[in-house]
Every structure is written in structure tokens, then in C-alpha cells.
Structure 1
């Protein structure tokens, strides 16, 4: 795989917010702020699915502070179980390269990305590289009936099987779920990469 093709894949992963590679941490924070601004523009203030729409514009700051937040109180047991299951499917389906399962937990009406772009990027990732994600400190930090924010610390390792070139990225992520008729779906993702990481090559 050419270096240029590798970078395109990593940028694609970053655009779909599965991994953030080939970008510096400062650029990622800038992109997150720009994404939040765009989110404010496309999210109707009276859309109940977004709960408090203003919270999306502040999500970058929330991600930075989320590790200190406690799990939200008052989440019905049935809903907590369903949200946890949706998040686990989001992670496990990606790790298992189960395209249909992965896309089935992605909202058809996402807030800060396009469903078609996610579909295309994920398919490219599965076809071209080996990528795995591990999660830690997972907790539902906000719940409002039809919206839930799930915080997690994520480490993602992507390897080019042809060259053994490997990239590891880690950071804090808030995954926003919206409740649809067929269950909880990923509607927005906000990721802040850890600083000081370098590409590792075997």
C-alpha cells in the first residue's frame, strides 16, 4: 500500500471519527470545534431528538472534562441496558469487521457526519487495513429520554497488512445516541486525541 493511500485511509477514518490519524492533536481540536459550529447550524433548536441542541455546540469542552463526570442518574434500567448494548455493538462490530452489524447501529439521520460517508469509509477500512479498538472507562454521562451521551477512552490500532506499517491513536470520545423506532443509534461522535502520539512502524 502506498504512503499516499495509507494517509487517505487514515484521513477517512478521521473524517468518520473512528480513528484520528495523520492529523495533529491541535488540528483535531480545531476540527471538533468547527464540527460543533456546523452542528449548531444544521440542528434545529426545537428538535426533541437532540435534547438541548446547545449541548452539541459545547461537546468539545464536555469531552475534555468528561473523564471526571459520573454516570448520569435516573436512567431506567431497560434503557441503560439498551444503550450499553448499542455502544458494545458499535465497538464489537467494528473490531469484527461486521459491516452490516456496524451500519445497523449508525443513525440514518446523523448530526455531525453523513451516513453515506460513514458507509464508504468503513467499507474501505475493512477492505484495506486491520483495525481494532479497545475501550475503557465507559459511562453514560447524560440521558434525556431520546438522547444519551456515552463517554469512553478509546485506543485504536490500525495496521497495513501489506507493509506492517502500524498507527495507534488514543483519546477521549463522547458518542451521542438518539433513540429511534428500531433502537438506539449513533447520531454524533466527538473525539479528542491524546497529545504527543507518534506513528509507530514495525
Structure 2
């Protein structure tokens, strides 16, 4: 059975990468940094309000069927897949600059400065490996310059100081926006697979 969980450990938060919901600029409570859920939203839905069309993820993450959006131009698909590959590669190689280069300048669900500080500390403390399969563009909106990329993710983490290893499987929708001709990560929605 699959269900959305509120994550409470740092090891699971690592797979969320660039998706902290900024509720209050003066505190990290309820953010990706502390592993607590916010007062209003769980750490998985990241403040998604299903009543607003501009914040909905256009894909049911609990279904077995993955359908590619039919309206994606070939050149945009290629560009988006390269951005997604860079996002995964930067995480695996623990390259802070490469990782930051693929993030949106005006993200909806995280702060650039806080994300840099957070990812530097994570890369320093953990050995990481993320494998993405079934990578598919499931929604494309040319008018909004926005796309949603689905992937099944298998993430392995090893804490350098203790040797503690953790493995997680899940599904992720990465929302990209086109900025200055390049596709950038704007927000991320993740659901862990329950075995």
C-alpha cells in the first residue's frame, strides 16, 4: 500500500533536494532543514493547494500508469531531459555549483540562499546516490513555460561519520520553469514507496 508520509528524519529529507516550503523567513521550523512538518501543510504536499490551478501537480503519483504529455516539442523535451540529468548528476557528484545552476532563480517552494547552505552541509555529511528511472514529462504548459517531470527514484545515503546507510524508493514530480532559455527546478513533490 502506498501513502504519503510526513518525513521526520534528515536521511529522508536528503531526497527532497530543492523543496523546502518557506513559511517564515526567520525560522527553519517546518522546513526541509529540520524534518518537521509545517503547521499548515505536510512536508510532502509542500503547500500544494488543490483549489488553485497554478499550484497543482498535474499527475496522480499513486497510479501505476505513466503517460507522457503529447504536446511537448522535441527540442523542449531534449532540453528538459538535459536539465533533469544535470539535477541528478549534481546531486550524485555532490557538486554544489552544478546543483545550484539548475535551480530556478525565483523558486516557488524554497529559498535559494537557504538551499545552498543546506545542500553544502548535506554534501559534507553524506555519500549520496540517486537513480532515476521511468523519467517522463507528464505535463507541459507552453503558455506558463512550465513542465512536470515524473521519475521513480531509488536513493542511497551513507553518513560519513557513522557509516549508517539508508535506502529509499519513491516517486517524484519535479516542476521545471523555463528561465532565460533553460529549464530550471522550481519545486519538487515526492512520495515514498511503501513495501
State the alpha-carbon separation in 2 of the partners of residues 106 and 176 from structure 1.
11
Question: What residue is the counterpart of 2:78 in the other structure?
Answer: 81
Conserved? CA contact 1:33–1:60, under 8 Å: no
Where does residue 123 of structure 2 map in the other structure? 126
Q: Which has the higher helix share?
A: 1
State TM-score, norm by structure 2. 0.75
Aligned to 2:47: 35
Root-mean-square deviation (CA, aligned residues, Å) is 2.9
Cα distance in 1 for partners of 2:15, 2:135 equals 21
Instruction: Give distance in 2, aligned partners of 1:8 and 1:163.
Output: 16
Structure 1: segments with no counterpart, 5+ residues: 1-6, 24-28, 41-52, 197-202
Deviation at 1:8, TM superposition (A): 6.8
Hey, what does 1:13 align to over in structure 2?
14
- Structure 2: tracts of 5 or more residues without a match: 1-7, 20-31, 36-40
1:169 corresponds to 2:181: no
Q: Say whether 1:115 aligns with 2:112.
A: yes
- 1:111 Cα deviation (Å)? 1.1
Provide TM-score, normalisation by structure 1. Answer: 0.73
Displacement of 1:16: 4.0
Cα distance, 1:124 vs structure 2: 0.8
Say how many residue pairs are matched.
Answer: 169
2:188 is equivalent to residue 189 of structure 1:
yes
Counterpart position of 1:199: none
